[in-house]
């Protein structure tokens, strides 16, 4: 952002919100926001106006609004439930294709289904008149916890987990010769 462009933005901040916004404060804001494009800062200010805070936004609020423009919002539970109900029956035999379809909604949705287990999720009796509500609540809580874990991973620079859990077939056979000192040579 150029200093001339910042002057216009500083005037908007000074006139649109209550609170002091003198030249020293404007200079500090410019130093911290100069790496962003003018359009990004203007969009962020519009978002902050829509939030309704009557006081001059902090630099951190403006930066959060700028970075929030690039992020895709994590779907709400009703959106996830609708997507899962559409995809689960259609891809009952091809879980990888089903997870890819859910990833179109959001990577975290596909990650949650993979972590929870496709088969396990498909066997949940959510339509049960007596216990269906409790099961849906348990699934919603599971999704909320998963979203928190994945967002924490993203904050640390790690990718969203997308591995589908595999069921272990059974106990492995013990190699008795390996247990004996100097076993089979």
The string of pLDDT tens digits covering residues 19-45 is: 888 889 999 999 999 988 888 888 888
Residue 167 has pLDDT above 50, yes or no: no
> Residue written as tokens 């969203």?
160
Q: What phi and psi values does residue 164 have, to the nearest 5 degrees?
A: -80, 130
| pTM, to two decimals | 0.51
CA dihedral 65, 68, 70, 76 (to 10 degrees): -150
What CATH fold (topology level) applies to the domain 3-70? Helicase, Ruva Protein; domain 3 (1.10.8)
Token pair, residue 73, equals 């919002």
62-100 per-position pLDDT tens digit:
988 888 765 557 888 898 898 899 998 888 888 888 888
Query: Coil, strand, or helix at residue 18?
Result: strand
Domain ranges of the chain: 3-70, 77-155
What pLDDT does residue 73 have? 72
Least Cα distance to 58 among 73, 66, 6 occurs for: 66
């Amino acid at each position: 952002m150029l200093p001339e462009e910042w002057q216009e933005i500083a005037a908007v901040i000074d006139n649109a919100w209550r609170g002091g916004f003198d030249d020293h404060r404007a200079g500090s804001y410019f130093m911290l926001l100069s790496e962003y494009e003018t359009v990004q800062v203007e969009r962020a200010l519009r978002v902050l106006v829509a939030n309704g805070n009557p006081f001059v936004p902090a630099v951190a609020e403006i930066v959060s609004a700028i970075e929030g423009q690039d992020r895709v919002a994590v779907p709400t539970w009703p959106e996830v439930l609708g997507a899962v109900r559409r995809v689960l029956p259609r891809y009952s035999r091809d879980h990888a294709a089903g997870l890819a379809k859910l990833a179109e909604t959001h990577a975290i949705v596909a990650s949650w289904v993979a972590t929870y287990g496709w088969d396990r999720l498909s066997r949940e009796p959510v339509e049960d008149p007596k216990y269906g509500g409790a099961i849906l609540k348990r699934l919603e809580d599971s999704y909320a916890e998963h979203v928190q874990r994945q967002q924490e991973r993203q904050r640390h620079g790690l990718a969203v987990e997308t591995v589908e859990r595999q069921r272990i077939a059974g106990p492995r056979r013990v190699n008795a010769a390996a247990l004996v000192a100097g076993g089979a040579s």
